[in-house]
Structure 1
Amino acid sequence: MATTSRGASSSVDRAVDIVAALAEGLDPGQRLGTKGAIQAECGVSKGTFNEALRLLQARGVITLRPGPGGGLFAASPTPMAKLGSSLLALDADSTTVEDAMQVRDSLEPLLAAEAVDHGSLTDIRELWALIEDMRAAVAARDPDQFLEANWCLHRRIAEITPNQLLRQVYLNIMGIMDDHTVNVLPGPHVPLSDYIDERLQLHVDIVAAIEARDHDRAAELIRAHSMH
């Protein structure tokens, strides 16, 4: 597998950057705007915007409040948010994609086990919806779209864990990788179409193992995932 450097952020990252810029300098609790208005400003789909909001909340940048007068609000800095900022600061220093991948591969077995233990019906339903996004990318033979859908799936699996430290570290590691990687390619002599078909099936099997509460199968599949 090979990675290539990213020239432009994904649509999720662009939305994250826009909202983070709006929140920067605001006092904790100060309102950025309604969810609909901020989504329109970001110029992304509802699904993409919701994924960006999940990341921003995990990083302690914003909070969401429902109902009249609700919307997006600047969050108070928490120890988890400070940890996220420290991890992201590494991105501008000497951290490489290979470093980030090594840490990611070490954390994913823990996250898979947590998903098996704690995944709700809503979690499982949303994981399958993200699998459908991956299927659409395979049908379109679009490796960039496939990578984005793939990473959205991994982020969503990470969000299942109640362990805030584990979730925060993983999501920020994924942020480092996402900032530096535009696509993931198969090794030599492996056709791209065969590669993404194989990767899709592997992720289908991972979600099925989480849904079945099968620790052994999930662990086996995550090991196979890290070897590709």
Structure 2
Amino acid sequence: MRPRRSTPGGAVLSGLGAASPGRTRAEQLAAALDDRIRSLGLRAGDAVGTLESLREETGYAYSTVSEAVRVLRDRGVLDIRPGRGGGLFVADRGPVVRLRHTLLDVQDEPATVADAIELRDHLEVLVDVGAARCRTETDVAELREHVERLRAAPDWDAFMRANWALHERIARICPNRMAAAVYAGTLGHLSSASSRFDDAEASGRYRAERCEVHADLVEAIAAGDEAAVRAAVARHNTTT
């Protein structure tokens, strides 16, 4: 491996020796890049480097660097801009990504929390479409009650408990019991993670937006409209 060197305006990436058990080199590099962005206080739009500069700095193969960048792009941490003047830039994080970032900051098994988020997102369409196909009037009434509890939550902790409870109730409707069980298991990891926004105003905006996203999802399930369910899930899992 080539000796590491810092990119302009950056700090040498740390913790990049042999891969830790259960973590690939790409995952290690993604974590180190994320740490660099936070430690330097970089903001949305700030340059992070290029694939080539990171490859030269770390000595890693191009495929490893590309995979690490893809992970951070998918998490909403990095933007990739092609062409002249392009490169890697800090992404403008919407409220959903900020929530995920706080979840990933928890001290207890952050890698497990990250895995739970990724798996939950992949299962969301399967579980929610299944619920739309099999919902009953009783199911719909209870889902709407959960949405009202979400709206009425007096504080952040109550809001998050209501959020997880709503998703657990949706999972109980899904006819694919294996998928529902795995999905509910991911919620267990997430609901046990202590996370919050430090910014009260940002928290209020996030909560109001997420109430409407969940209300739309419940109404799509109630209508049995699979296209609307997929659209609602896309909103749920993105940074809008």
TM norm structure 2: 0.53
1:175 to 177, 188, 198: 188
Between the aligned partners of 2:114 and 2:149, the Cα distance in structure 1 is 26
Deviations 1:33-75 (A, max 9, x none): xxxxxxxxxxxxxxxxxxxxxxxxxxxxxxxxxxxxxxxxxxx
Q: Does 1:121 align with 2:137?
A: yes
Among the aligned pairs, what percent are the same residue? Answer: 34
Report the secondary structure of 2:102's partner residue: strand
Instruction: Within 5 Å, give how 1:1-228 maps onto structure 2.
Output: 1=98, 2-4=101-103, 95-137=111-153, 140=154, 142-179=155-192, 181-185=193-197, 191-228=202-239
Q: CA deviation at 1:183?
A: 3.0
Does the 8 A contact of 1:131 with 1:204 survive in 2?
yes
Once residues 151 and 112 of structure 2 are traced to their aligned partners in structure 1, the CA distance between those partners, rounded to angstroms, is 30
Q: 1:185–1:118: structure 2 CA closer, same or farther, 3 Å change rule?
A: farther
**AA aligned opposite 1:218:** V
Q: What is the CA RMSD across the aligned residues, in angstroms?
A: 2.5
Counterparts of 1:189 and 1:182, CA distance in 2: 16
CA contact (8 A) 2:131 2:175 kept: no
| Structure number with bigger Rg | 2
Of structures 1 and 2, the one scoring higher in RCO (CA 8 A, sep 6+) is 1
Q: Is contact 2:160–2:191 with CA below 8 Å preserved after alignment?
A: no
Deviations 1:93-145 (A, max 9, x none): 785211110000000000110011001111111101111111111xx3x1111
* TM-score where L is the length of structure 1: 0.56
Equivalent residues of 2:113, 2:190 under 8 A apart: yes
